[in-house]
Structure 1
């Protein structure tokens, strides 16, 4: 992994993205998106994670985050570890999941290829954090996050996508209590 992308300054905001191994479309089901949202809420309340923007796509997540408490790399590590375990459990226990065996097999396969894991891997290894050192870059990343579902053809307007902070920025109530950038 490149050393170029690291959380260097905890006083800054960061754009982070993380993807499911093999870019698997896991987040097509609400119950899996809710696991991720619950974990984000937990980190916000208990670890000091500040979320300024988010979008949960089918195979990946984009966030604009900061923290005045715990180091961001620790929060992201814990978030990914916890959601990995919870999502594995949710997939395994979901009687409606027709892809269960295939998904779990691919995630076990990815885990066995990676010595950092114990035979299972849900998320790809990296977060690719980008420090948002000015307002123009921050706005560019928020626009990118909010346009992602539009570009994918899921909705025609960013605020129509339920699993995004675009609703909050359009004056509507979103699913997370985010911190708005004015």
Structure 2
């Protein structure tokens, strides 16, 4: 059995992927207001910065920076997932349950990568912002409304046509899917 170890770094910056259990679902964008509310409430209770984010129909990617003397990103993810799931259930949306009677909306785990330096941050943010194109949802990253790319463009960090003119390949070192 593989023993997975998380890298707990106080004030660390991390790249995360959280995925729904049903990969055919579009519940994240269908109820994006509830997801945003879950993030807002969690940030009030347990502060963190969102450096980059994209919300896709069945998964999301986030670069998150934690405050000084705090390395508890699992607690934050537990809270975000729980708040979203309960808000969704309260709205009457059907959510299946597992054999224990627990809601079975999310995959139990999330993927995490510790950002090591500026180049790693930039590569991860590019991956996040290009992801809707990679999944065939839009032809240009700026066409996807659920992305921090728009904040980057407004701040002058990226041009408005970023990723839409073939300037990057969209592979980002991944194996073919």
Q: TM-score band, normalised by the shorter chain? A: 0.7 to 0.9
Cα distance, 1:82 vs. partner? 1.5
Q: Structure 1 CA distance, aligned partners of 2:2 and 2:87?
A: 28
- Secondary structure class of the residue paired with 1:149: helix
Match of 1:146 in 2: 129
**3-state SS of paired residue (2:22):** helix
Alignment partner, residue 12 of structure 1 = 12
Q: Greater shift after overlay, 142-151 or 156-165?
A: 156-165
| Residues matched between the structures, number | 153
Q: 3-state SS of the aligned residue for 1:64?
A: strand
In the other structure, the counterpart of 2:80 is 79
Contact 1:20 1:26 in 2 (8 A): no
User: How far off is 1:153 after superposition?
Assistant: 2.4
Q: Structure 1 segments of 4 or more deviating over 6 A?
A: none
Match for 2:109 among 95, 114, 126?
A: 126
Structure 1 CA distance for aligned equivalents of residues 2 and 62 of structure 2: 20
| 2:36 aligned partner | 37
Post-superposition offset of 1:50: 1.0
For residue 161 of structure 1, the aligned residue among 117, 139, 144 is: 144
C-alpha contact (below 8 Å) 1:160/1:167 kept by paired residues: no
Structure with greater helix percent: 1
1:135 matches 2:136? no
TM-score (norm 2): 0.76
The alpha carbon displacement at 1:7 in A equals 4.3
CA RMSD of aligned residues (A): 2.2
Q: Secondary structure at the match of 1:11?
A: coil
